[in-house]
Structure 1
């Protein structure tokens, strides 16, 4: 017979998983009527709390787990550095876990963090499946999800308004006179990529520009894929005069492909990226991009997690939505027919 989980109890009591956790562990006030429904469900289903998890939560290790999908991506490297700095200032050691966009590797790292008895986790998932997050929740590990969106019943969330940022990047190119605007997307199973792409399409529509599938290529958020996607665009029959690339690593790859093809940036083609990693200002031409508020994201994520750890957490989880800003540099320019 399969083990009854906290998710089963939450479904039976018609409450959130977080509420069940608070009733089981007596960590927060719960409305008496709601609490009674949970207790009834616990008894009827025969739920047995994970004794190992409860023993882990009785101690404090002053360690925090940080799970990122790709440490070679300079955006995630910057996020990790900021979180480590803030954690150190607050007296916490940060264990960095690079999942390498591999769900199996991510799952093993979750096992490692549970075994290490971390006090909490900042989680940037490699995909959209909630299983690893659910395991942390069921083991009563405080979690803050960054750069991804999940139901608030599972965790606090800190993320960017990616759809609006994609709109703003596209609008910048339209304002420069571009009408044939290509887009190099990231993986379609990642919400940030698809949301930026939706912003791109919305901006085209609102400005009377037809969406053209021939102007779309997909990458994987890494440099080589940006270069390869740009090569495909340039070898096709597309008439792109500008390209919106959904992260800076791919944008730098796209610039490399354009240079190798003998194009001048931005005279022949404009390129705008997304993230504002440190190298953007150092390359030639310097990359125009949409800046993510990396320090602000790291600060919010750490503050929310520490509120959990010191017992100052509000009853309801929070979703913090941050905004990006356009950084104009040298890789975009007005299009002259």
Structure 2
């Protein structure tokens, strides 16, 4: 592997001159700069990122830790973060905790040991353990959707209650009165906020909140599929004259599973059952029927999180931010007036 001294020898200059050219730290004559750059290209020299990070106390690397990179939501989120960071001159080191809090802790330690310039986290749980790790490090950090207790971190999130409220209000405005909620795990603040939005919309329209119509799932398509089958099969004959005609799924992945389950049970969509999701992932517009949902654009969410993190890196002493994005209703083919 070529070294900076090899470049200097080929260019006929000192290795300090090569360093000044590559790092733009001092003025160098045009002729010397031309010879150095030609030598770099000829021998394929690559400057040591490790040496530069030690010298400048920065790595230009952002650590991104997400619960499940196979989930389209997190894939789109990371794309938004990466694009924003790349344009600002940062590379992204992506870690997938696979919804395992212990693996999340291990990756957190690894990223901090690698001296990343900033950390962006979408938590997979075990906030107490995360808080202990955060206390050991002072790296600029941003959390997406969730605050980690005790962590000095900015947060970028979607207004979950308002988004859920808008989704359920859309169903009510269409004429639905018996509306179920496929919820995420109750341990997550996001899931609780979206259930509360469902309740709030029903109460505002004078509709009785039936907690039996809340079915907890896991934010996955298989989970939404199973939850919807349980919900629809559990409807007693006494409710045959007043069946569930609308479902609010707390994310688009569960809504996709719900579409499949309803179709397998012989329901015509949206004529007999309307389904609305949350997040507006790209996939939601390509399923059949195309999914009505609420969201602010997942890539936009990631880009905003990236901007907030870079601002924190550049101004570490600034007041912590809690950025709340407002979701919008996107009406597609999966909702219609009830029969």
Query: Would you call these one fold, judging by a TM-score over 0.5?
Result: yes
Query: Which of the numbers 325, 330, 335 marks the counterpart of 2:333?
Result: 330
Aligned to 2:320: 317
Query: Is residue 2:222 matched to residue 1:224?
Result: yes
- Deviation at residue 114 of structure 1 after TM alignment: 1.6
Checking the alignment, whether the CA contact within 8 Å between 1:223 and 1:250 is kept in structure 2 is: yes
Checking the alignment, whether the CA contact within 8 Å between 1:293 and 1:323 is kept in structure 2 is: no
Checking the alignment, whether the CA contact within 8 Å between 2:178 and 2:245 is kept in structure 1 is: yes
Aligned to 1:177: 175
Give the TM-score normalised by structure 1: 0.79
Query: Which of the numbers 79, 98, 101 marks the counterpart of 1:81?
Result: 79
Query: Is residue 2:71 matched to residue 1:67?
Result: no
CA distance in 1: counterparts of 2:289 and 2:312, whole angstroms: 44
CA distance in 2: counterparts of 1:57 and 1:173, whole angstroms: 59
Checking the alignment, whether the CA contact within 8 Å between 1:63 and 1:95 is kept in structure 2 is: yes
- Deviation at residue 133 of structure 1 after TM alignment: 4.4
Aligned to 2:259: 255
CA distance in 2: counterparts of 1:184 and 1:281, whole angstroms: 20
CA distance in 1: counterparts of 2:148 and 2:206, whole angstroms: 34
How many residue pairs get matched? 281
Q: Which runs of 5+ in 2 are unaligned?
A: 1-52
TM-superposition CA deviations, 1:218-257 (whole Å, max 9, x none): 1100110100001001111262101000001110001000
- Deviation at residue 56 of structure 1 after TM alignment: 8.1
Checking the alignment, whether the CA contact within 8 Å between 1:160 and 1:324 is kept in structure 2 is: yes
Q: Which runs of 5+ in 1 are unaligned?
A: 1-54
Range with greater deviation from structure 2 (136-145 or 157-166): 136-145
For 1:211, what is the secondary structure of its paired residue?
Answer: coil
For 1:274, what is the secondary structure of its paired residue?
Answer: coil
Give the TM-score normalised by structure 2: 0.79
Rg (Cα) greater in structure: 2
Query: Which of the numbers 270, 279, 282 marks the counterpart of 2:283?
Result: 279
Aligned to 1:214: 212
Checking the alignment, whether the CA contact within 8 Å between 2:128 and 2:149 is kept in structure 1 is: no
- Over aligned residue pairs, what C-alpha RMSD do you find? 1.9
